[in-house]
Structure 1
Amino acid sequence: MHDSVTDDLKTALKQLIIEECDKDEFTPADIGDDDALLGGDLDLDSLDVLQICMAVKNQYGVRIEGNTAARRALKSINALAQTIVDSKAG
Structure 2
Amino acid sequence: MPDAVTPELKHALKQMIIDECDKDELSPTDIQDDQALLGGDLDLDSLDVLQICMAVKTQYGVRIEGNTAAQRALKSIDTLADTIVRQSTP
Q: TM-score, normalised by structure 1?
A: 0.93
- Structure 1 distance, partners of 2:53, 2:73, is 9
What is the identity, as a one-letter code, of the residue corresponding to 1:87? Q
Aligned equivalents of 1:5, 1:70: Cα separation in 2: 19
- CA deviation profile, 1:8-45 (whole Å, cap 9, x unmatched): 00000000000000001110000000000001111000
- In the alignment, structure 1 residue 27 sits paired with structure 2 residue 23: no
SS in 2 for 1:15: helix
**1:26-65 map, 5 Å:** 26-65=26-65
Q: For 2:21 and 2:5, locate their aligned partners in 1 and report how far apart those are by CA, in whole Å.
A: 24
- For residue 15 of structure 1, what is the aligned residue in structure 2? 15
The change in CA–CA distance for 1:5 and 1:82 in structure 2 (over 3 A counts) is closer
Which amino acid in the other structure matches residue 85 of structure 1? V
Query: Could you tell me how far apart the structure 2 residues matched to 1:80 and 1:69 are?
Result: 11
Query: Cα distance, 1:5 vs. partner?
Result: 5.8
> C-alpha offsets along residues 45-86 of structure 1, whole Å, 9 cap, x if unaligned?
000000000000000000000000000000000000000000
Q: Unpaired runs of 5+ in structure 2?
A: none
Percent identity over paired residues = 76
Structural RMSD (CA): 1.2
What TM-score do the two structures reach when normalised by structure 2? 0.93
Q: State the alpha-carbon separation in 2 of the partners of residues 6 and 52 from structure 1.
A: 19
Return the offset for 1:88: 1.1
- Contact 2:5–2:81 (CA<8 Å) still a contact in 1? no
| Alignment length (residue pairs) | 87
Q: Which runs of 4+ in 1 moved over 3 A?
A: none
